Amino acid sequence: MATSVVGLDIGHGVLRAAEVAGGSTAKPRLMKYHEVTFPADATHEGEVVEQDVLVRALKQLWAAGKFKTRDVVLGVGNQRVLTRDLSVPKVPLDRIKEALPFQVQDLLPIPVSDAVLDFYPVAEAQGESGPVIQGLLVAAAKSSVLANVRAVQAAGLNPIDVDLTPFALTRALLAGGGTRGTVALIHVGATTSCIVIATDGVPQFVRIIPSGGEEVTTALVNGIGMTPADAERTKSTMGLVREAYPPELMAACETTIRVTEDLLGSLRNTVAFYRNTRPNDPITNVVLTGGGSRLRGFPAALEEVTRLQVELGDPTSRFALAKAIDIHSLPSVLPAMGVALGLTLRAAS
């Protein structure tokens, strides 16, 4: 394997890639980061549906980003990924993973043969029949994973691993000994939002919600007749803040607030579910990331509905930055960098 690796985040109409050296060390080094856009309809719910379009975008990304390696770790984290609590007898991790297909069929909405399975150990405990390992079962639709892998390979890249994006976010933002207690990590993307609740940096609970910032743009385009570009500018300028806007903009303001309230409600209900099912494990605060977190007024609104302090996450905080990184442009891309950066830290988990 090369001394560096690229974390590749295939988003809604955007590719994000981070090249990191020393991903298993205490202070990994961010060598390069770059983004390119592509037609959003080339993917559907995180799955590549127009391979040629994505291949061209990947080649453009590698040429413009000047990455030194073709080894990549892919992120998976769409609505077709399921996570569930699972306790299994204490045996070596490789044996646990080998036995998953025979143990989890009743937990899955699809046949085991159509799923890619993984197990993330969380803690050891004493069960009725002896020691057990408590953890998270991860199941992804095999067709979705393979479609993305094939597109990456067709672009001349070498996918060395596939990882769940919530775990990648946890490694980038909560792991490494810097976070103590139980924290809710909320990442608001374009079409999905994920919630990871972690204790001392170890994920305890994962949920992926099929809702994100793109829903506001869609509502402004379809409901008010704005162009997509005008919708993006309008929502970033007004956000959730009610002010004395001209009459022609009030409808856009109310639409943005109404659509975002649905997402905030889903996030609130997910946090409440965890609180109700684990009353002895109180959440101390929220770390917020993702492109959707840049919506004006969103952090304050999230504080109001969750009744928790919200802080904006910095996924670069545990990285040394190479000279090639433009620190002046970082603030504009920082909220969306977490997945790509965290994918490069798989060896450090």
| pLDDT confidence tier of residue 177, bands split at 50, 70 and 90 | low
CA 321 to chain CA centroid, nearest Å: 22
| Predicted pLDDT of residue 132 | 94
| Predicted pLDDT of residue 178 | 65
- The mean pLDDT of 212-220, rounded to a whole number, is 93
Mean pLDDT of the chain: 91
| pLDDT confidence tier of residue 285, bands split at 50, 70 and 90 | very high
Please give the structure tokens belonging to residue 292.
Answer: 């959707």
| Predicted pLDDT of residue 1 | 42
CA distance readout (Å), 223 to 40, 191, 231, 251: 20, 18, 11, 9
| pLDDT confidence tier of residue 349, bands split at 50, 70 and 90 | very low
CA dihedral 37, 40, 46, 51 (to 10 degrees): -80
The domain locations on the chain are 81-141, 179-313
pLDDT tens per residue, range 128-169: 888 999 999 999 989 889 999 999 999 999 999 999 999 999
Q: What is the 3-state secondary structure (H, E, C) of the chain?
A: CCCEEEEEEECCCEEEEEEEECCCCCCCEEEEEEEEECCHHHEECCEECCHHHHHHHHHHHHHHHCCCCCEEEEEECCCCEEEEEEEEECCCHHHHHHHHHHHCHHHCCCCHHHEEEEEEEEEEEEECCEEEEEEEEEEEEHHHHHHHHHHHHHCCCEEEEEEEHHHHHHHHHCCCCCCCCEEEEEEECCCCEEEEEEECCEEEEEEEECCCCHHHHHHHHHHHCCCHHHHHHHHHHHCCCCCCCCHHHHHHHHHHHHHHHHHHHHHHHHHHHHHHHCCCCCEEEEEEECHHHHCCCHHHHHHHHHCCEEEECCCCCCCEECCCCCCCCHHHHHHHCHHHHHHCCHHHC
- The mean pLDDT of 197-225, rounded to a whole number, is 92
Please give the structure tokens belonging to residue 193.
Answer: 């939002």
Do the domains 81-141 and 179-313 sit in the same CATH topology, yes or no? Answer: no
With 80 as the cut, is the pLDDT of residue 248 above it? no
CA distance readout (Å), 328 to 158, 285, 309, 324, 331: 31, 29, 28, 12, 7
- The mean pLDDT of 115-129, rounded to a whole number, is 89
Query: Which amino acid would we find at residue 291?
Result: G
| Predicted pLDDT of residue 348 | 44
| Predicted pLDDT of residue 235 | 84
CATH number of this structure's domain 81-141: 3.30.1490.300
CA dihedral for 216, 218, 224, 227, sign (positive or negative): positive
CA distance 253 to 243: 9
Counting every residue, how long is the chain?
Answer: 349
Give this prediction's pTM: 0.92
| Predicted pLDDT of residue 149 | 95
CATH superfamily of 179-313: ATPase, nucleotide binding domain (3.30.420.40)
| Predicted pLDDT of residue 306 | 97
CA 335 to chain CA centroid, nearest Å: 11
pLDDT tens per residue, range 58-110: 999 999 999 999 999 999 888 788 888 999 999 999 999 999 998 888 888 88
CA distance 83 to 164: 10
pLDDT tens per residue, range 96-114: 999 999 888 888 888 999 9
Please give the structure tokens belonging to residue 56.
Answer: 């061209």
CA distance 186 to 199: 14
With 60 as the cut, is the pLDDT of residue 308 above it? yes
CA distance 280 to 284: 12
Phi, psi dihedral angles at 246 (to 5 degrees): -55, 150
Phi, psi dihedral angles at 326 (to 5 degrees): -85, 100
- Cα angle for residues 283, 286, 291 (degrees, 5° grid): 150
